[in-house]
Amino acid sequence: VSITLDPASGRLSQATLAPAAGEAENAQAVRDAWTGCLAAFLSKNADVAVTFMDDTVQLLRMRQTVSRGELEASFNGTFETTDFGGLALEDLVDPDTVFVQRTSDYEGDVGGPVYLLGARARMDLSDTIPFWTTWQAYYFRPVSGDWKIFAIR
């Protein structure tokens, strides 16, 4: 719903936004959250990177659920052994392969909309990040007005 003020009459009017506009805005917000997470990761800032994660994250391929703290510890371990000096997001993930779409997967479990972000990795970090694969898939849900990663496939 959009509320606007007509300056000539001083009246408020209400219009319903097209669903596609909301979907596009949500998809962009998901992409922005993912980009923020990866940017923090590349700058070796684990405490900021995990702010884009839910309290717990399901690692679907590993059939494991980890806490935000466990992910932060894993990221810090990666930072000790991996030099990201000068790397950009495009070096880590192919931007031409990134897509975001709403999915019905897990909607019943999380009680709201779920978006899937997929991308192809250019770097192999699987030796220090166990859930890292060539094809990345991140599931997002809204939490207190922000989009958070709650599952990774």
Residues 44-71 have pLDDT tens digits of 999 999 999 999 999 999 999 999 999 9
- 10 Å CB burial of residue 120 (0-12, 13-18, 19+) is middle
The span from the CA of 108 to the CA of 95, in Å, is: 30
CB 105 within 8 A of CB 114: yes
Q: Look up the pTM and report it.
A: 0.83
Decide: 117 and 30 in contact? Cβ < 8 Å.
Answer: yes
| pLDDT for residue 9 is more than 70 | no
> Which residues neighbour 82 within 8 Å (Cβ) at sequence distance 6 or greater?
125, 128
